[in-house]
Amino acid sequence: MAVLAGCRQDMHNQPKFIPLRSSEFYSDRRSARYPVPGTISRTVSGDLANCSNNASPECQESVIVDKEQLDPNSYYLTGKRGNVYGNDLPGDLPFKTDTPDGRQNILARGQERYTIYCTPCHSQLGDGNGMIVQRGFKRPPSFHVQRLKNAPLGWFYDVISNGFGGMPDYAAQIKPADRWAIAAYIRALQLSQNASETDVAAADRDQLSKPAEQGITIPDTSIISPAVTTPVTPVPDTQPKGNKR
C-alpha cells in the first residue's frame, strides 16, 4: 500500500502543451500552433493604412504585426508562389513601391541593411571580396556572375532567410521586409556594375564623356619633389662624467 501511495502524480502530469515540446495530437507533431489565417494582432500600433504608404523605418517599426504567425506560407515570407521563386516584390511590404520615391526609399533601406550584414563577406561591390574573405574566410560567389544575375528576387530572399552553402541564415537578425529590401538592392547593385550607356538617362549621358578627375584638385605637396635635407651633426657632450658628490 505504501508503494502505491508513492506513485501518486496528482497534478504533476497535466494534459497541457509545454512550449516547444512535441505533440502526438497534430500530424506535424508541433504543439505550438499558428493563429487562424486572417487573425489581427492585438499589438498593432499606429495607423497601418498610412504606414503602408510611408517607407520610413520609424513608421515600419511602429507596426508590430507578426505576419509570420498569420500566414507562414505566404509569398511575403517564403519568396515562393507554390514551389516557384517569384521575381517581384510582395504587395504587403511596409514600403510604397509603385512610385519613384517609394522605390528609392526601399533601395536606400536595402543598401543600409546590406552594408551592415552583407558587406563583411560580399563587399560593397558584391564581388565576394569582403573584409573577412581577405582574412581567410571562404569566398562567396560574385553577384555579377550570370547565374546570380538570372536568379529571381525570391531566391535571394530565401537564401537570406534560410542560408545557403557556407552562409548561415539571417532570419533572426533581419526582418522579412528588410530581406526584401536587400534583395531589391542586390538587383540594383548588379545593374550598377553591369550597366551600359543605354541604361543612363539621356539628360545625364553627357556626364559620361567628362574626365573622372574633373573638379579634383591635386595638392602641390604631392607633385613637388621634397627638398634635400642636411644631416644634423650631433653636439658633443661637454659635461664631465662621473659620480656627483
Q: Percentage of the chain with pLDDT > 70?
A: 67
Q: Would the pLDDT of 69 be above 60?
A: no
Q: Would the pLDDT of 55 be above 60?
A: no
For residues 89 and 129, what is the distance between their CA atoms, to the nearest angstrom?
28
For residues 125 and 148, what is the distance between their CA atoms, to the nearest angstrom?
14
Q: What is the DSSP secondary structure assignment for residue 34, as one 8-state letter?
A: P
Better-scored residue on pLDDT, 96 or 244: 96
Structurally, at CATH architecture level, domain 48-193 sits in: Orthogonal Bundle (1.10)
Would you place residue 188 in the very low, low, confident or very high pLDDT band (cuts 50, 70, 90)? very high
Amino acid identity of residue 20, one-letter, is L
pLDDT in tens, 7-54: 666 667 777 777 778 888 888 888 888 777 767 665 544 444 455 555
Beta bridge partners of residue 167, listed in sequence order: 164
Comparing C-alpha atoms, which of 12, 163, 181 is closest to residue 104?
Answer: 181
What is the reported pTM? 0.62
152 backbone φψ class: left, alpha, beta (φ>0; ψ -120 to 50): beta
Q: How much is the pLDDT for 209?
A: 74
For residues 235 and 229, what is the distance between their CA atoms, to the nearest angstrom?
18
Among 108-122, 159-173, 185-199, where is mean pLDDT lowest? 185-199
Q: Would the pLDDT of 74 be above 80?
A: yes
